Structure 1
Amino acid sequence: MKRGPRETADSSRRLTRRSILLGTAQLGIVGVLGARMSSMQVDQADTYRMLAEENRINIGLIPPARGIIYDINGVVLADNEQHYSIVMTREGAGDVDEVLARLGRLISLDPEKLEKAREELKVRSAFVPVTVAERISWEDLARVTVNAPALPGVVAEHGRSRHYPQGADLAHVVGYVGPVSDYDLSRIDDQDPLLQIPRFQIGKTMVENQLEQELRGSAGTKRVEVNAAGRVMRELDRVEGIPGADVQLTIDARLQNYMHARLDGESAAAIVIDVTNGDIKGLASTPAFDPNVFVQGISTSLWNELNERDIDSQLHRRPLAAKAVQGTYPPGSTFKMVTALAALEDGVIQADDTVRCVGHIDVFDVRFHCWKRAGHGNMNLNDSLKHSCDVYYYDIAQRVGIDKMAAMGRKLGLGERHDLPLSAIRSGIMPDKAWKRAARGEDWRIGDTVNASIGQGYVATSPLQLAVMTARIATGRSVKPRLVRSIGGVEQPSGAGESLGLNENNLRRVRRAMFDVSNNNRGTAYRSRIAVEEFKMAGKTGTSQVRRITAEERRAGVTRNADLPWNRRDHALFVAFAPADNPKYAVAVVVEHGGGGSTVAAPIARDVMLQALYDGTPPLEAYPSAVRGRIAEQQKHIATMLRDIRPGPTVEEA
């Protein structure tokens, strides 16, 4: 059927309107797209250019130089040494086995590490470098460099790692660093991205660990261009990081070296404190270990040796333990000054009051013995310390009571965790009635007080605490131990302390008795006295039991220490300050299972004290004439063990 002219005209008008609408919509869409493209190309060009660059530029971290640790005289205790390593890429090497064989003919390769490198080369991307040898010598580096054309894919790299020039001497003070482990990451709340860098090292123990934030520094950055596969094409720029702060300790490396040599062969600890400011001049624990082996990677056999656990063996001397701060021991008779001062301050005794010692005292149905089986007779304060009579302290302790004894002990620094940047410092035990109720669920007994009066029973102290106690008795001030002199050149607070508030007359009486211990010919440490008048020493011997002596053994005769297994012998202790009339240093020595304090610990303490006072080897005239021949031989022997340690630049100059 044919359309009429009118229908044709209407249809034409409808098509025209639709075409206009469709064309308008298309023009609108094109306009929007054009505007968007214009915006992206012109207005947002910088933004998209940056995104494009970020797809081909990686930003990496540059580890900062770790802060250097010095002693009080500028001697380096921990620094950063340059080391060299060999890396290989699979794509550069081609025939990996052939190149490794050539490398092995030039330098010595550890078979275990070489096998590990082979495995890594198989699984890693062809362009990723794999370490084949670490810490190679300069000579080995030269061989590899000269033969570079025959070693495709092999590159020598250099870096820095921690080094401890003083070796074992400062292991228990400075500590050591090691690679960040999963355990480290799990226990520290530290978001520093440096910790994610492979093989990045952090402080593991002692000062290195406790001052980690100060020593670490801040990371630098580098920008490298990579291709689509992630291969590094070139380094665009770098900004070096901020080095860690240098730290200066109060330790005297020469004195520390001498202390280790003097303690050689013993399981022992010794501490020297400057009583005028609390500075720790020496803090030695033996046996020790070389911290450098931990930085380089310790072998399984050496680790097992350092962790020897045969308690029946004389080898069980715990070289990894910093006995000076981590070891706690019954203080024995070195605690008697605490009991005496508590009784004097409380007014329950006067210095001239006497107690008769018949060799024992009975407390209800328990007999407590004096070390001298026949007894000492009538003892006053001075005599009781000079002869180290136990019965005198058994008696006065019952009158003063444990709570006042404990309060005096804490005033003198016992039972306190002293604030030093060292790992696992022990607080020891200064027991009282409340302590036993909380710790043991039992009431305190009078027999506990009697035992505590001579530093036995529940009392446990560290060598550090004994040194602090002695410094406070010597000065009458609350001397606080200080190990760090400055951080980043900023001086740290002095440990001189304030007055303890004790009666000076009472302190003077105790000091005089300690003087007689070392200088009266009937004193327990007379044989270990200092002969020169200007350096006369005041001290106190101590011998602490580690086993119970039965009544049957007393009747048959107490077994001598020399006849007992090493781990059942008594501990030997000695504390002292000198010069007696103007104290400069306090010393504490503990020799594990050493036997008698007067025969073992006192001579060591005297020698260490003289070394500190003379700032080097003392003249033979400083010793009693009867021992000068032996001391001369001892000095010759020790001289062969000492390092040539010379003062370095000040920290500011360095």
Structure 2
Amino acid sequence: MRYRKGDGERSGLFTRRSLLLGGAQAVLLSALAGRLYQLQVIETQRFSTLAEENRINLRLLPPSRGLILDRSGQPLAVNRNNFRAMATSDRGRGIDQLVERLDQIFSLGEAEKTRLLRELRRSRNAQPVVVRENLGWEEVARLEFNAPDLPGVFIDLGQTRDYPEGELMSHIIGYTGRVADEDLAGRDDPVLQLSTMRFGKKGVERSLEDSIRGRAGAVQVEVNAVGRVVRELDRTEGQPGSNALLTIDLDLQRFVAERVKEHQSGSVVVMDIITGDIIAMVSTPGFDPNTFARGITQAEWRELLDSPERPLHNKAIAGVYPPGSTYKMVTALAALESKAIEPWTRLPCAGHLELGNIKFHCWLRGGHGSTNVVEAIAQSCDCFFYEAARKAGIDRIADVGNRLGFGRISDLGLPGESPGIQPSRSWKQEKLGKPWQHGDTFNLGIGQGFMNATPMQLAIMTARIANGGYEVQPNLLLASATPREELAPPKPRDKPTAPSLRFNPQHVALIREGMIQVVASGTANHLRLDAKGKLVEPQFRFAGKTGTAQVKRITERERDMGITQDQLPWHLRHHALFVCYGPVDNPRYACSVIIEHGKAGGATAGPIGRDVLLEVMKRDPSRRTDGFRKMASR
């Protein structure tokens, strides 16, 4: 066989290619072996952990929300068990199909479908989100029947908020709802990221949110490939939120609500003038907070918003009204403190007072003649207070008004409280860009014009006058404690510990005497008799001040025609006001009443204030401590 030159060249080329290919294969095999070594030996712990995390989920458990109780330990906000459908996402895969399937089972509606899609896509670490709460047995059975076709969907037993008293306590307790973005501001609690978590939206639920929310627990569960829980591995229970004992006396709250229910809209506040405890606070009409706990519908929400009676509006702290003649105590005290008048000073009333070409009328057409400050308060003489206001001046009146609680938010702590308006020179210049006029002072002297106040502020004013001029602040919380924490009831207090407002005690005593005469012989002398027509017992005698606040200005033509309040539409009628305190010999409680468009303070608001105050004095809730024992035993 003859050797050819080309064969050697081809053989060398083949050998070189074989070597190159073999070398490449060796490099690849070495890289593969190195990678396998890295994965199986060097990083075995890391991937073991990742695999374990795919198999085991750590889920936060919402804590049990603290209870809210009245001062006697009766429940106002509690928790009840709640079956709910939950779903977990598989890193975004198949979410749309899952939601469509759930819609077929529960008829979710477009709004709920959008919400569910958003929460499933945002869910971290396979944390479950709520599909629907408060499931009935039929819905539970339907979901269990379809369970094989619903990966990651399961039924959970949770808790939902329940409000046993419903509308009665709605404005005080408020309600809870889903956590919104604005609720997270300044809070880094991871439990708030849970879709099952509820957050206080109004009332005490909101103001005490951070203390009654509690601390989250955690549960370790083993899941299969589709995210369904196989078994629970470990559980750490959370810490329940603190229970809250309120100053409200539920039985008195019921009495007050029953007393004002015949009127379309109004508010009553009862306050302990020594401790500042709010014993009752009613705003009508109210709403049922349980509709928010179970999930309010769009139709229900729109009905509440569109109601002309504003049931969502807590009139006790957010409703602002001209205080009318109830403000005359401020004018009188300012005039006395500034020495613009003396206790014996008498001012004339001919039925009207003229300022330029404007007449300022007294409510009594013929006038009251000559009166001193006590008589003027008792008879509510407008002309006396026009002149007293002119003599005292706006600066002194505004100062006394501020010290008695007007024009500022109180320390009550409920969200949504209005500061009202205590007008002054600087206020008018800043808000309206106009200087203060003498006519403004006349209007302010009788609680009209720019002046407005809340029922809470009127109760505070009355309490500070009744206790001798001490800066008592309203309070809604008697105690807050975690379950089984030892509680000792506070010792009863009979003397104010608040700082003095530095009024002359003799001047405050004169104002109180004027209020006593209002009921004894003045504009509310019919209130000396109780609802049964019997003279009020001496130990329950009380003092008060009527007020009728104009909603619209009465024209001269209307005065001449003698148009009555009954002839006007409801929304144009005067507001009826009454403030009172008692007992007169040893004051303990103050009460303010405002009936919207109630026409006349003495006739409409007065009897309500009398009945409420008599009931409070007879019960004397300041002496009750049984709520502390009940709270400590829960």
Aligning the two structures, in what range does the TM-score lie when normalised by the shorter sequence? 0.7 to 0.9
1:563 aligned partner: 567
1:207-246 to 2 correspondence within 5 Å? 207-246=204-243
Distance 1:40 1:158, change over 3 A: closer
1:15 aligned partner: none
Q: CA offsets, 1:575-599, max 9 Å, x none?
A: 0000011011000000111110000
1:158 aligned partner: 157
- Measure the CA separation in 2 of the matches of 1:403 and 1:78: 46
Instruction: Give me the CA root mean square deviation.
Output: 3.8
Q: CA offsets, 1:86-113, max 9 Å, x none?
A: 67999xxxxx9xx999xx9xxxx97556
Note if 1:388 corresponds to 2:380. yes
Note if 1:585 corresponds to 2:609. no
| Contact 1:225–1:235 (Cα < 8 Å) also in 2 | yes
- Measure the CA separation in 2 of the matches of 1:497 and 1:55: 61
| Contact 1:369–1:391 (Cα < 8 Å) also in 2 | yes
Distance 1:435 1:88, change over 3 A: closer
Q: What letter matches 2:456 in structure 1?
A: L
Note if 1:260 corresponds to 2:240. no
Q: CA offsets, 1:197-247, max 9 Å, x none?
A: 124211111111121111111111112233455444332212111111111
Q: What letter matches 2:505 in structure 1?
A: E
Note if 1:484 corresponds to 2:481. no
- Measure the CA separation in 1 of the matches of 2:115 and 2:267: 47
Q: What letter matches 2:614 in structure 1?
A: L
Distance 1:228 1:587, change over 3 A: same
- Measure the CA separation in 2 of the matches of 1:584 and 1:545: 31
- Measure the CA separation in 2 of the matches of 1:354 and 1:388: 14
- Correspondence for 1:278 among 276, 279, 298: 276
TM-score for both structures, normalised by structure 2? 0.81
Aligned-pair CA distance for 1:37:
5.9
1:11 aligned partner: none
- Measure the CA separation in 2 of the matches of 1:331 and 1:129: 53
1:293 aligned partner: 291
Q: CA offsets, 1:114-155, max 9 Å, x none?
A: 99789989x999x99997864245x769x949x978987796
Structure 1, 431-440 or 46-55: larger mean CA deviation:
46-55
Distance 1:133 1:40, change over 3 A: closer
| Contact 1:211–1:421 (Cα < 8 Å) also in 2 | no
1:542 aligned partner: 547
- Measure the CA separation in 2 of the matches of 1:386 and 1:130: 64
Distance 1:153 1:253, change over 3 A: farther
TM-score for both structures, normalised by structure 1? 0.79
| Contact 1:88–1:153 (Cα < 8 Å) also in 2 | no
2:3 aligned partner: none
1:630 aligned partner: none
Q: What letter matches 2:567 in structure 1?
A: D
| Contact 2:176–2:198 (Cα < 8 Å) also in 1 | yes
- Structure 1: give runs of 5+ residues left out of the alignment: 1-25, 91-95, 310-315, 618-645
1:651 aligned partner: 631
- Correspondence for 2:194 among 190, 193, 197: 197
1:344-423 to 2 correspondence within 5 Å? 344-423=336-415
2:498 aligned partner: 497
- Measure the CA separation in 2 of the matches of 1:180 and 1:87: 17
Structure 1, 256-265 or 585-594: larger mean CA deviation:
256-265
- Measure the CA separation in 1 of the matches of 2:397 and 2:375: 20
| Contact 2:488–2:628 (Cα < 8 Å) also in 1 | no
| Contact 2:129–2:196 (Cα < 8 Å) also in 1 | no
Structure 1, 496-505 or 409-418: larger mean CA deviation:
496-505
| Contact 1:544–1:571 (Cα < 8 Å) also in 2 | yes
Q: What letter matches 1:158 in structure 2?
A: L
1:402-551 to 2 correspondence within 5 Å? 402-475=394-467, 476-488=469-481, 496-520=497-521, 523-529=522-528, 531-551=536-556
Structure 1, 190-199 or 589-598: larger mean CA deviation:
190-199
Distance 1:150 1:432, change over 3 A: closer
Q: What letter matches 2:537 in structure 1?
A: V
Aligned-pair CA distance for 1:193:
2.0
Note if 1:605 corresponds to 2:616. no
| Contact 1:480–1:496 (Cα < 8 Å) also in 2 | no
- Measure the CA separation in 1 of the matches of 2:412 and 2:258: 25
- Measure the CA separation in 2 of the matches of 1:117 and 1:546: 47
- Measure the CA separation in 1 of the matches of 2:129 and 2:371: 76
What SS does the corresponding residue of 2:348 show, helix, strand or coil? Answer: strand
| Contact 1:485–1:492 (Cα < 8 Å) also in 2 | no
Q: Report the number of matched residues.
A: 570
What SS does the corresponding residue of 1:355 show, helix, strand or coil? Answer: coil
What SS does the corresponding residue of 1:170 show, helix, strand or coil? Answer: helix
1:18-417 to 2 correspondence within 5 Å? 41=41, 49-85=48-84, 134-136=133-135, 144=141, 157-182=156-181, 184-185=183-184, 188-266=185-263, 267-308=265-306, 316-417=308-409
2:7 aligned partner: none
| Contact 1:330–1:460 (Cα < 8 Å) also in 2 | yes
| Contact 1:113–1:133 (Cα < 8 Å) also in 2 | no
| Contact 1:355–1:392 (Cα < 8 Å) also in 2 | yes
Q: CA offsets, 1:37-71, max 9 Å, x none?
A: 699848x8656643443343222111010111111
Aligned-pair CA distance for 1:507:
1.0
Distance 1:322 1:390, change over 3 A: same
Aligned-pair CA distance for 1:526:
1.2
What SS does the corresponding residue of 1:590 show, helix, strand or coil? Answer: strand
- Measure the CA separation in 1 of the matches of 2:268 and 2:392: 32
Distance 1:114 1:647, change over 3 A: farther
- Measure the CA separation in 1 of the matches of 2:199 and 2:231: 29
2:533 aligned partner: none
What SS does the corresponding residue of 1:256 show, helix, strand or coil? Answer: helix
Note if 1:594 corresponds to 2:598. yes
